[in-house]
Amino acid sequence: MAASTEAKGTPAYGVSAKVPAVAYPLAEVPAEIASNINYHAQFSPHFSPFKFEPEQAYYATADSVRDRLVQQWNETYRHFHNVDPKQTYYLSMEYLQGRALTNAIGNLDIQNAYGDALKKLGHELEEIAEQEKDAALGNGGLGRLASCFLDSMATLNLPAWGYGLRYKYGLFKQQITKEGQEEIAEDWLEKFSPWEVVRHDVVYPVRFFGRVEVNPNGFRKWVDGEVVQALAYDVPIPGYKTKNTISLRIWEAKACAGDFNLFQFNDGQYEAAAQLHSQAQQICAVLYPGDATENGKLLRLKQQFFLCSASLQDIIFRFKERRLGKGTWQWSEFPSKVAIQLNDTHPTLSIPELMRLLLDDEGLGWDEAWDVTTRTISYTNHTVLPEALEKWSQSVMWKLLPRHMEIIEEIDKRFVAMICKTRTDLESKLMSIRILDNNPQKPVVRMANLCVVSAHTVNGVAQLHSDILKSELFVDYVSIWPTKFQNKTNGITPRRWLRFCSPELSSIITKWLKSELWVTNLDQLTGLRKFADNADFQAEWASAKMANKQRLAEYIERVTGESIDPHSLFDIQVKRIHEYKRQLLNILGGIYRYKKLKEMSPKERKNTTPRTIMIGGKAFATYTNAKRIVKLVNDVGAVVNNDPEVSKYLKVVFIPNYNVSVAEMLIPGSELSQHISTAGMEASGTSNMKFALNGCLIIGTLDGANVEIREEIQEENFFLFGATADEVPRLRKERENGLFKPDPRFEEAKHFIRSGAFGSYDYNPLLESLEGNTGYGRGDYFLVGYDFPSYMDAQAKVDEAYKDRKRWLKMSILSTAGSGKFSSDRTISQYAKEIWNIAECRVP
């Protein structure tokens, strides 16, 4: 029995009077858990008394689970403090956490007990879990990867923390209207998040603007400007079946009471009186605010620096705190106790900020500060897209961060001097490899270059991507530092992405493997290969997949009003809407399929493979062509789904407001998944891994992690098409020279759109991006036209394979069986050993 705290009260309305309101913070049996939930409903009230509807029940349940998490978090923090291991600090602008309740009780291995406890209180766990809103702290694969990594760090008992920002309104909530996508603010914090623990004692000042003051002794100090406060909120991250519970620390920006000008306010100057408060609130209001204006650029840069400065100050404070009482120590010890990982270029300002703190606040000399910084920081590159490799205007940087620009100038100057002294063969390349691009028309700071020059290790996120980094993007740096570059193929957590989101399939896997060890050792899935032809196993597998498809069909009807047939092939593409991800190729294929179905006789249609095409994802608010693609998918769906001749054989559905919780419904119910980016443009992709793990077959190009997935699951279980990465430059050049001849099917699909078949909206600007040979926004840069014929041929192979149920089920089983490599546990183990040099620190 867990220890209890007596504090009894009148039961809330709807709560059984048989369940006493008694605090059992560490409860594990259903009766005590029910009492603890009831206790929180009454003594941690967030609503009017006497209400215990699903929403109130959710918050009380979350408070109950949090009791256990906080206790484990405290034990973990104390253990790390006492053992003093080297720790990793993971800095990311995004975390896409998803719902916390089901994940927490799953990792704590108390989901059945909580299910039974809620029944005693008159509720179902599934209904209560549905009340939780996804935390709006991220958008795409970058943020979801960071969240998978935190889950693995905790599960592997590694001493590690995540750092991010507490965005109030997220990126946006997507609504679909007749006009296409509309963006409204996320409301995840409209009430509050029960998973956060605010740390009122963890507050750091963060300065912007100002000037650099030079003391008579030559020391430099950043002064004046505006100063906001960074307040810490901790989100506990439990490991799977372990006591270790680590933290995602997210920062909120605020101003002090002293920054409120009472005189101005009483004089009627209300906005001026609260100016700093207003400016502070802007910093964490929205993820990736529009940066077309000067103010937008300043705000984005403020966000990035705010994350870096608050996190670095916290890391240094914790390092010094652990040194207290241990006698003398040196700053040279810092890299043996601290590893900082930059997740893409957004946290690059950690480099000059760590230098500034060491030089100006701690009094180190340049050489010592540089040695500490370069031995501490490592950098993950996530893209080869030129527009995604951040470049910041030097004038904006000088304005907002004058001291940091001095430091960046010095790093650049020393790098140039080193090249001129030791690598004269690279002098002609200096203009492209130095940090500062001093082009008088547009002088910028190249953030990726700053990362590569300053970090001790640079890694890509799939083998193909890392090879491209070494042979193309960073080729000259490789010749300077050949051992600096590594590959760390991304991974996903098997807990959220199979064990919890597909319980039927998980149970079958556990039953046939006679063990649940696969949940933390995913390589064990290879044991399923020997059952791939087993008729009993196939029947159970098909039954689990159908249960997931029916659940998905119910969800689709609920959110879109569209009824879909669970016996049709469920074909899904869900990811950020971007031209390189080629949702346009997918919908053009769907349009051609529709046109051919229309031309068939009823008898011919009966011989086709019925298919439901589902597309989901957010288009960035200012990305016009991406928003046109969203509208096109919806316009096609409106016609196809209401065509009585065709709708039995084809449906096209756009899934609104794609997020983690939606993915947890879609991925288990999918049978074919499209990962069809132009080869060489997707660094890795991780949704491809989630689909493959759930027995979904992939149609895709040889891009990102598709290459490795195809190797692992065997190439006959992967529907391959398209140009390869090394062919792409030649094909673009041939296009420029007018040598491309489009496939008649491709022309037919475009012509069908232009005929007005899907309404009167003018799709010419979108279609023209696929036409012409050169020019801005022309010339089909992403090779949709070139890859269209091989894409359609691969889709014909899908249709044939799906008709052979035994063959399809075998391929599905082998897909799951080959997914062991793609666990984030494997990825994080490699980071820990090969980049961070940290070891397990298990709470006893």
**Angle of helix 805-817 relative to helix 535-560, nearest 10 degrees?**
90
382 catalytic? Reply is yes
**Could you tell me the CA-to-CA distances from 778 to 451, 496, 684, 774 in Å, in that order?**
33, 41, 26, 6
567 catalytic? Reply is no
514 catalytic? Reply is no
Q: Are strands 444-446 and 391-393 parallel, antiparallel or unpaired?
A: antiparallel
- Alpha helices, H only, 218-342: 262-266, 270-273, 275-283, 294-323, 334-337
Are 63 and 38 in contact by the 8 Å Cβ rule? The answer is: no
Q: How far apart are CA 510 and CA 838, in angstroms?
A: 32
- Helix or strand run (H / E) with residue 613: strand 611-616
The active-site residue, picked from 120, 144, 356, 382, is 382
Identify which of 366, 343, 184, 155 has the alpha carbon closest to the alpha carbon of residue 242: 155
Cβ neighbours around 203 below 10 Å, total: 16
Cβ neighbours around 730 below 10 Å, total: 10
Render 161-200 in DSSP notation, one character per residue: EEEEE--SS-S-EEEEETTEEEEE---TTSS--TT-EEEE
326 catalytic? Reply is no
Are 377 and 334 in contact by the 8 Å Cβ rule? The answer is: no
> Strand pairing partners for 233?
198, 250
Are 310 and 251 in contact by the 8 Å Cβ rule? The answer is: yes
The active-site residue, picked from 576, 628, 810, 821, is 576
The active-site residue, picked from 403, 484, 575, 631, is 575
Residue for token pair 């204006």: 293
> Strand pairing partners for 647?
none
Backbone angles phi, psi at 125, to 5 degrees: -55, -45
Are 656 and 556 in contact by the 8 Å Cβ rule? The answer is: no
The active-site residue, picked from 496, 690, 732, 810, is 690
Q: Which two tokens stand for residue 529?
A: 């290969």
The active-site residue, picked from 686, 701, 816, 827, is 686
Q: Which two tokens stand for residue 571?
A: 């074909």
Render 93-113 in DSSP notation, one character per residue: S------SHHHHHHHTT-HHH
Identify which of 339, 330, 375, 155 has the alpha carbon closest to the alpha carbon of residue 245: 155
Residue count of the chain, please give it.
Answer: 844
The active-site residue, picked from 446, 581, 593, 611, is 581
Render 364-388 in DSSP notation, one character per residue: --HHHHHHHHHHHEEEE-----GGG
323 catalytic? Reply is no
Render 624-662 in DSSP notation, one character per residue: HHHHHHHHHHHHHHHHHTT-TTTTTTEEEEEESS--HHH
Backbone angles phi, psi at 571, to 5 degrees: -115, 115
575 catalytic? Reply is yes
- Alpha helices, H only, 293-429: 294-323, 334-337, 350-356, 366-376, 394-400, 402-422
Work out the widest C-alpha separation in the chain, in whole angstroms: 92
Residues designated as active site:
382, 575-576, 581, 686, 690
